[in-house]
Amino acid sequence: GAGVSQTPSNKVTEKGKYVELRCDPISGHTALYWYRQSLGQGPEFLIYFQGTGAADDSGLPNDRFFAVRPEGSVSTLKIQRTERGDSAVYLCASSAGTSGSREETQYFGPGTRLLVL
Amino acid sequence: EDQVTQSPEALRLQEGESSSLNCSYTVSGLRGLFWYRQDPGKGPEFLFTLYSAGEEKEKERLKATLTKKESFLHITAPKPEDSATYLCAVQAYGQNFVFGPGTRLSVLP
pLDDT(B2) > 90: no
Residue-wise pLDDT tens digits, B70-80: 999 999 999 99
Task: Locate the chain A residue with the closest alpha carbon to B34.
Answer: A105
DSSP 3-state percent helix, strand, coil across chain B (nearest 5): 5, 60, 35
pLDDT greater than 90 at residue B102 = yes
**Interface with B, mutate which of A4, A39, A45, A113 (most B CBs under 10 A):** A45
In angstroms, what separates the C-alpha of A59 from chain B's closest C-alpha? Answer: 10
Query: Residue B35's closest CA among B4, B78, B79, B77?
Result: B4
Q: What pLDDT was estimated at residue A102? A: 61
**SS3 state at B45:** strand
Q: How many CB atoms lie within 10 A of CB A63?
A: 8
A104 close contact with B: CB closer than 8 A: no
Per DSSP, which regions of chain A are E strands?
5-7, 10-13, 19-24, 31-37, 44-50, 53-56, 65-68, 75-79, 88-95, 107-108, 112-116
pLDDT tens figures, B17-32? 999 999 999 998 899 9
- Residues B24 and B69: beta-carbon distance below 8 Å: yes
| pLDDT tens track for A41-90 | 999 999 999 989 998 999 999 999 999 999 989 999 999 999 999 999 99
Mean pLDDT (chain B) is: 95
CB contact under 8 A, A106 and B46: yes
CB A74 within 8 A of CB A96: no
For residue A13, pLDDT over 70 is answered with: yes
Q: From residue B57, how far is each of A110, B4, B69, B90 by CA, in Å? A: 25, 20, 17, 16
Residue to test with chain B: of A7, A24, A50, A107, most B Cβ within 10 A: A107
pLDDT value, residue A104 = 79
Q: pLDDT band at A1, cuts 50/70/90?
A: low
Distance CA A29, CA A44 (A): 21
Q: Using a pLDDT cut of 70, give the percent of chain B over it.
A: 100
Q: Output the pLDDT for position A97.
A: 74
Contact indicator for B12, B108 with CB cutoff of 8 Å: yes
Query: Measured between CB atoms, which of B46, B93, B94 is closest to A105?
Result: B46
